[in-house]
Structure 1
Amino acid sequence: MSNFVYRVSALAMAIALNSSGALAANDLALEEILVTAEKRESSLQDTPISILAFSSERLERFGISDLGDIAGLAPNVTITPFPNSRSSLVVFMRGVGNNDSQSTQDPAVGIYLDGVYVARSIGLTSDVADLERIEVLRGPQGTLYGRNTTGGAINLITAKPGEEFAISQQFSAGNRDYWRLLSKIESGKVGGFSAKLSYLESGHDGWVENTGEGKNFGEEEKQAGRAAVRWDLSERVSIDYAYDFSEIDGPQHYYQTTSSTGNAIPANEQRSDTGSWDGGVTPSHTEISGHSFIVSIDTGWGELKSISGYRELAEDIVQNYGGGLPGFKIGVDIEQDQLSQEFQFVGESGENWRYVAGLYYFKEHGSELETDTVPVLIPDPNPLLPPTLLTVTLEDRQIYSTSEAYAAYGQLTWSPAMLAHRLDVTLGGRYTVDKREARKDSAVYFTGGEQSDSETWSNFNPSLTLDYNWTDELSTFAKVVTAYKSGGYNVRSTEDGFTPPFDEEHMVSYEFGVKSSWLNNRVSVNASVFRAEYEDMQLQQITNNATIFLTDVFNVGEAQIDGFEIDVMAVLMRGLTMQLSYGYTDADFIEYIDQRGASPTQGENVANQAEMPYAPEHNYTLGLDYERAVGSVSSPMMLNASIDYQWTDERYGTAFNDDMSGFFLDDYGLVNARLALSDISLGRLGLEVALWGRNLDDQEYKVHSISLGAYQAGYFGEPKSYGMDIRLSF
């Protein structure tokens, strides 16, 4: 633990001890946090799930506008940009995830935008113009959320139109030419109709100067917009429609050479401030858009809801892993669209019964065109001279895919009167049918030409939860939950690895948790301990570091994951709140059958040589937030100061490789802070001014590392950044 954490902990302890008398005398309490994790609105403290919720205030405090911004803030959740595209994210929870991004291979953590499943990880770093809350549900969610939630689920919830007319404009500026404009306008409620428009634009220079042709590495410009309309037809019927779009423009991040075999290639293990690509920098472009249409009807027995969603994306990217040398380069052009329809019925019968039931349909189409070039060493006739490094195009491949899923689910909670409704017994189940078709046409490297196949999988996932409220402030829960991830095809496969498809994987999780409030709700302590049994694991396997664009996916065997999470919030004194979250994960392979054809250990259990990817053993975040009124009594203003520290343990980016050190990421910690003065009155206008800084001690840390045979490359996280926000509201 760093000196910074010791200092913050000592300060928090001293304040808590010195203010214990004040706590007893003052009416200080934590605000209630409402979530919709179980398809109905309920208090976070009453929801028997290991869950973290980021309110709009916390989103603003941490500068969160997209999913990637919560990396490091949710223990036992690892979020890393996918190496080919910085718009894509690799998301793991409790050591469960998928470290690739393909249209024929599903993630293990489900992402939902206002209840609509987002199938592809491409575009997850796009700005959402008006986020109200993010809910992070740790652990399998196989009943209510279904397929591809073996790790957990994340709900992105946008702000709905309000009942009052309002306008706000935010201006932000910072170092490296950072700028951001966020505009919002609300119509207010007029005859049952209300609307809200939000538009966001931002940009910044890259933190690695390009010494060759093109823009600096990491430089980007973003646009995002959202239009939301609500129509209350009556007291029982409402309709919500929303359209959102997002665009990202700019070159990819810079992969610098960090080490090489025999030091044949110049390398630098420290973060480089300059770099170049062989042939110049090529920009990338990502577009995302979506529609949602939600109809809610109060039937008297419960709420019947129809959730219709349509989303599409297009991305054209180029990533070069060779730095200024001829190196491994990928060019990808991806298009995808998806249609989903869900019917939910959520209700209760007296105090004894609560129920959720639903039907779900999903269909998507995808296409990918990828071109791969690799470096080739040409020996010099003079043995005293180094070889010449050239690039050769080894593969062009075109992929077309379709997937379709049907599901029916239900969850019933019984609260018997004989125990004064303190016990909740919840039984749930979900039946899912998945069908996937894929066609792959490869050229140059392969001579086999076109391959195509289709497969159907089905699965039933039951769950059981016991939740007992010992008092109004203390409850414990125990649960057994199952989930599965559908099978699929690997578009980056070797010629023999495309068919047959890899099979589905399964998860059984056992969990015991505590939800508690203390000192008249001045302190909340929520904790969970879990064991997950992982079967038929799908794992991406690089067969040869010299051609890392060729991988195969195998159902390699079994793993066991044990862990612990604790989330603490405490009002230490009037206006001062502490937040502490810690996660521990012990993830180990039990069986890993090596299925690589050319491997000397083919067919053997190599579990003792493998590492669970993206499963740091420890991670935590610690923060202090202080708020108080300042200024005159007649015109008070609010001063808010916050500081937080987030730390992540070392981890590997792949499970088993002949050169695993090339995929190793060291531990690191970041310090962030924000100081804001709000409620400044300017007549009919309100003003807020904030100063912020991230990575204030300028830590150098790798975001991703990769082995390329003769050398290893990685790219580093953003250096120290700072800036100012100014917001006007009417």
Structure 2
Amino acid sequence: MEKFTKLVAIAGAVALTPHVSMAQQRSTQLEEVVVTAQKREESLQDTPISLAAFSGDQLDQFGIDDLGDITARTPNVDITPFPNSRSSLVIFMRGVGNNDSQTTQDPAVGVYIDGVYVGRSVGLTSDVADLARIEVLRGPQGTLYGRNTTGGAINMISARPDEEFGFKSVLATGNRDYRKATFQLDTGAMAGLSAKISYSTSEKGPWVDNINGSNDFVEEEREAARFVLRWDISDNLSLDYAYDISEIVGPQPYYQVLRINEDRAVTAQDVTDAIAGGASQDDINTLQADLIVTNLFTPQFRERASEKRLSKGEWDVPVEDSETEVSGHALTFTWDLPIGTLKSITAYREVSEDVVMDYGAGVEWFDVVVNIDQDQTSQELQLVGDIGDNFSYVSGLYYFEETGYEREVDTVAGSVAENRIIDSENEAWAVYGQLTWDASSDLSLTFGARYTEDDRCAEKFSINFSNSPNNTQQACDSWSNFNPSLTVSYDINEQVNTYAKVVTGYKSGGFNVRSTEAGFQPAFDEEEMVSYELGIKSTLFDNRVRLNAATFQSDYTDMQIQQILDNTVVFLTDVFNAGKAEIRGFEADLTAILSEGLTLNLGYGYTDADFVEVIENNPNSPNFQQDVSSNYIMPYAPEHTYSVVVEYQFPYFGIGNLRATVDYTWRDERFGTASNDDIEGFFLDDYGLLGARLNWSEIDLGGVEVAVALWGKNMEDEEYLVHDISQAYFHSGYFGEPATYGLDLTVQF
């Protein structure tokens, strides 16, 4: 809180400082923010959703390169790379998410690119060239966005082609051999046709060197391209086609040994005493396994252990590249009819990823090789319009299908422990509608409903070498769900709008491919949520201050809980609908022009998430079929999160515009899993990150516009863990990126 107070004090001091007059007028009022969160263009202040929106200019100014970067700017949103794939993201909103990335388990936060649902989290850290806006919708969005949005939804909206010819290039360089080049070309409109081509390529050096070779940890090469074509066929009919592709190549992060679990260290005398004391055979077997590890591996773990961020490391296997490729096509027809606007969105996307990961920090302990291929096809029809002066509506039909292939080989202590192959299919369809009645000039009521049917099949071939070979298993299951919603909006005056809502959402059922042999089927069922929310949208002090806030309570039922049933194979878990939880919280977003040229952005989120019931399903546990919720903690639910951004536009001095931004973000401590025998092994401590950017833009050089920006991230070189995991005998984790700084040069005409 001390740094938070300092930044607010600095902002206040600058606000009281007299400014000299300037030739070019600086903004003294906030600009209107237009969003499409409810499938139609409307003001942010008129949208009864707890919503954060980032324009393309803000994405540049904040240095947001991929989706994972928005977590720092969005309270009550926690986004973390998945442990064995830095291209995959674990996304939680208001304590709701899914910390797994299996092709047969769905996320709880929906991600959309230009209205197309992205079914898998693989590849979400890829660069998306030329975004116009990102919208973050907090809370269940079951009516308009459907299944798998119990936590919320994220809309990524790409820039449309410009009607005028234009070219833009951004060249960037920084420490650790960071290089990036981005090119954007607008063809301009010709006979109703216009196109935009975007391409970016980048490379980044490591912050952990591999002492056994030249392929270092976390170094990477990225490429991303996007082609957008727009055809205005007539005054009321248009076609938009988009193709995007992105690739990431490079080694995974370095999981270093953090500390030793001394409780698992045993001696031969401990085994002898257990036998003499009449211990069960299972307990004796566990002690004997612990004795082997204590003698063979623990000295190596202890030698490498450090809770400080290391700059060098090694794997017991060669450090190989992981490769991720994501691509997609989208075809959108928009037709303005007398009854409303009809939109057809047809899309196809595919993902391919090969991952090589070593969790042993140079000890021959736990290695993972994963291969994933997924493709999806979706079709949505939307009809959005008005009925008279008092009614407006959104309605639609939706269809989605995907196929997935997943192979994982787990090696423990040099021997293959698990080898599995999964083939899966998923099909879903839905019908939805939302009707808003403006009962008066101040009061409106919105009723919404969605019906969904969901079918999933999976085939699993698995050999568990810790037990016995297993034959191929096949299973199918179906689910359906009805999601109603009710929203009441009331305008206190022209500056202050309020709303109250009851909304629902559900996450579809599935199969756990990382299960024990007996736990693959039957499938686990869907989980559901009902959320109650009160919100306010306000524009105050002659449009100089925008304050939006919401308080909420969510009831979470039939939660999909992973539980370990066999302590001899702790890397295998079974999933049960065994949990209930209550989540309460508050979030606020403030934007204020403190004085001419000086803007303050504050964001704060509070989450109080607790399990109220978890049923133990391990038959070997003394608490079998009892409530063990006191041993569970809601994962990725930091109690407090906040961000402070101070931006100052300097007085005009004759050449371009100079703007400085300082930002600080804070995230409370949190846990990476709900339960484990050693919960401290998944603990992530609180941390704060300081960044800054100085941007000299709009420099006119004979019709060519130039901009130069200096920037820094994690400028205090904070050492913070991105992920922490218990591996029974020791704890390992990997750290976030150290202090980073660089220079951007932009040229456009």
Aligned residue among 422, 431, 439 for 2:451: 431
Query: Residue type matched to 2:501 in 1?
Result: K
Mark the CA change 1:214 to 1:436 in structure 2 (over 3 Å): closer, same or farther.
farther
Aligned residues: 706
Any idea what the Cα deviations from partners look like across 1:46-85, whole Å, max 9, x if unmatched?
1000000011111001111211111222110000000010
Aligned residue among 705, 709, 712 for 2:731: 712
| Contact 2:26–2:597 (Cα < 8 Å) also in 1 | no
Any idea what the Cα deviations from partners look like across 1:11-63, whole Å, max 9, x if unmatched?
2233446679x9xx998211111100000001101100000001111100111
Answering whether residue 727 of structure 2 is matched by residue 728 of structure 1, we say no
Mark the CA change 1:523 to 1:132 in structure 2 (over 3 Å): closer, same or farther.
same
In the alignment, what sits opposite 1:260? 260
Answering whether residue 495 of structure 2 is matched by residue 468 of structure 1, we say no
Query: Residue type matched to 2:446 in 1?
Result: T
Alpha-carbon distance, 1:601 to partner: 1.8
Query: Residue type matched to 1:655 in 2?
Result: A
Aligned residue among 354, 376, 385 for 2:392: 354
In the alignment, what sits opposite 2:713? 694
Mark the CA change 1:474 to 1:129 in structure 2 (over 3 Å): closer, same or farther.
same
Aligned residue among 408, 411, 428 for 1:370: 408
Stretch deviating more after TM superposition (89-98 or 552-561): 552-561
Distance in 1 separating the partners of 2:177 and 2:499: 49
Alpha-carbon distance, 1:602 to partner: 1.8
Distance in 1 separating the partners of 2:518 and 2:570: 16
In the alignment, what sits opposite 1:383? none
Flag structure 2 segments of 5+ consecutive residues without an equivalent.
263-297
Aligned residue among 291, 311, 314 for 1:273: 311
Q: How does 1:651-690 map to 2 (within 5 A)?
A: 651-690=670-709
Instruction: Give the secondary structure class of the aligned counterpart of 2:513.
Output: coil
Mark the CA change 1:157 to 1:349 in structure 2 (over 3 Å): closer, same or farther.
same
Q: How does 1:173-252 map to 2 (within 5 A)?
A: 173-252=173-252
Mark the CA change 1:545 to 1:580 in structure 2 (over 3 Å): closer, same or farther.
farther
In the alignment, what sits opposite 2:32? 32
Stretch deviating more after TM superposition (102-111 or 69-78): 69-78
Any idea what the Cα deviations from partners look like across 1:347-394, whole Å, max 9, x if unmatched?
01232000000000000000001100113xxxxxxxxxxxxxxx2111
Mark the CA change 1:680 to 1:18 in structure 2 (over 3 Å): closer, same or farther.
closer
Instruction: Give the secondary structure class of the aligned counterpart of 2:650.
Output: strand
| Contact 2:564–2:618 (Cα < 8 Å) also in 1 | no
Any idea what the Cα deviations from partners look like across 1:540-562, whole Å, max 9, x if unmatched?
23446764431111111210000
Instruction: Give the secondary structure class of the aligned counterpart of 1:111.
Output: strand
Answering whether residue 372 of structure 2 is matched by residue 334 of structure 1, we say yes
Distance in 2 separating the partners of 1:193 and 1:627: 38
| Contact 1:338–1:365 (Cα < 8 Å) also in 2 | yes
Query: Residue type matched to 1:513 in 2?
Result: G
Mark the CA change 1:78 to 1:543 in structure 2 (over 3 Å): closer, same or farther.
farther
Alpha-carbon distance, 1:261 to partner: 2.4
Answering whether residue 539 of structure 2 is matched by residue 517 of structure 1, we say yes
Q: How does 1:118-137 map to 2 (within 5 A)?
A: 118-137=118-137
| Contact 1:187–1:195 (Cα < 8 Å) also in 2 | yes
- After TM superposition, the score normalised by the length of structure 1 is 0.95
Aligned residue among 585, 590, 604 for 2:607: 585
Distance in 1 separating the partners of 2:213 and 2:476: 44
In the alignment, what sits opposite 2:275? none
| Contact 1:214–1:282 (Cα < 8 Å) also in 2 | no
In the alignment, what sits opposite 1:11? 10
Alpha-carbon distance, 1:132 to partner: 1.1
Distance in 1 separating the partners of 2:226 and 2:738: 31
Any idea what the Cα deviations from partners look like across 1:205-235, whole Å, max 9, x if unmatched?
1100110134110000000000000000011
Any idea what the Cα deviations from partners look like across 1:684-724, whole Å, max 9, x if unmatched?
21110000000000000000000101111000000000000
Instruction: Give the secondary structure class of the aligned counterpart of 1:11.
Output: helix
Flag structure 1 segments of 5+ consecutive residues without an equivalent.
376-390
Distance in 1 separating the partners of 2:724 and 2:619: 26
Query: Residue type matched to 2:228 in 1?
Result: A
In the alignment, what sits opposite 1:555? 577
In the alignment, what sits opposite 1:454? 476
| Contact 2:27–2:597 (Cα < 8 Å) also in 1 | no
In the alignment, what sits opposite 1:406? 429
Query: Residue type matched to 2:372 in 1?
Result: I
In the alignment, what sits opposite 2:92? 92
| Contact 1:414–1:425 (Cα < 8 Å) also in 2 | yes
Distance in 2 separating the partners of 1:46 and 1:614: 30
Instruction: Give the secondary structure class of the aligned counterpart of 2:215.
Output: coil
Distance in 2 separating the partners of 1:127 and 1:100: 22
Distance in 1 separating the partners of 2:632 and 2:582: 13
Instruction: Give the secondary structure class of the aligned counterpart of 2:194.
Output: strand
Answering whether residue 522 of structure 2 is matched by residue 500 of structure 1, we say yes
Instruction: Give the secondary structure class of the aligned counterpart of 1:8.
Output: helix
Query: Residue type matched to 1:625 in 2?
Result: E
| Contact 1:54–1:133 (Cα < 8 Å) also in 2 | yes
| Contact 1:615–1:652 (Cα < 8 Å) also in 2 | yes
In the alignment, what sits opposite 2:462? 442
In the alignment, what sits opposite 1:382? none
Any idea what the Cα deviations from partners look like across 1:506-538, whole Å, max 9, x if unmatched?
000000000001101100111100000000001
Q: How does 1:274-293 map to 2 (within 5 A)?
A: 274-293=312-331
Any idea what the Cα deviations from partners look like across 1:60-112, whole Å, max 9, x if unmatched?
01111211111222110000000010000000000000000011000000000
Distance in 2 separating the partners of 1:516 and 1:66: 30
Mark the CA change 1:211 to 1:423 in structure 2 (over 3 Å): closer, same or farther.
same
Distance in 1 separating the partners of 2:586 and 2:16: 28
Query: Residue type matched to 2:5 in 1?
Result: Y
| Contact 1:321–1:328 (Cα < 8 Å) also in 2 | yes
Distance in 1 separating the partners of 2:389 and 2:401: 38
Distance in 2 separating the partners of 1:542 and 1:131: 42
In the alignment, what sits opposite 1:385? none
In the alignment, what sits opposite 2:382? 344
Query: Residue type matched to 2:48 in 1?
Result: P
Instruction: Give the secondary structure class of the aligned counterpart of 1:488.
Output: coil
Query: Residue type matched to 1:14 in 2?
Result: A
Alpha-carbon distance, 1:614 to partner: 0.5
Distance in 1 separating the partners of 2:595 and 2:256: 47
In the alignment, what sits opposite 1:384? none
Aligned residue among 403, 415, 424 for 2:438: 415
Mark the CA change 1:545 to 1:278 in structure 2 (over 3 Å): closer, same or farther.
farther
Any idea what the Cα deviations from partners look like across 1:118-139, whole Å, max 9, x if unmatched?
0000000000011111000000
- After TM superposition, the score normalised by the length of structure 2 is 0.93
Distance in 1 separating the partners of 2:626 and 2:743: 57
Mark the CA change 1:26 to 1:181 in structure 2 (over 3 Å): closer, same or farther.
closer
Alpha-carbon distance, 1:628 to partner: 3.3
Alpha-carbon distance, 1:683 to partner: 1.1
Distance in 2 separating the partners of 1:541 and 1:105: 15
In the alignment, what sits opposite 1:167? 167
Query: Residue type matched to 1:342 in 2?
Result: E
Distance in 2 separating the partners of 1:84 and 1:224: 22
Instruction: Give the secondary structure class of the aligned counterpart of 2:673.
Output: coil
In the alignment, what sits opposite 2:416? 393
| Contact 2:464–2:470 (Cα < 8 Å) also in 1 | no
Query: Residue type matched to 1:372 in 2?
Result: D
Alpha-carbon distance, 1:399 to partner: 0.1
Query: Residue type matched to 1:521 in 2?
Result: N
| Contact 1:65–1:129 (Cα < 8 Å) also in 2 | no
Answering whether residue 78 of structure 2 is matched by residue 56 of structure 1, we say no
| Contact 1:629–1:637 (Cα < 8 Å) also in 2 | no
Stretch deviating more after TM superposition (566-575 or 11-20): 11-20
Mark the CA change 1:544 to 1:73 in structure 2 (over 3 Å): closer, same or farther.
farther
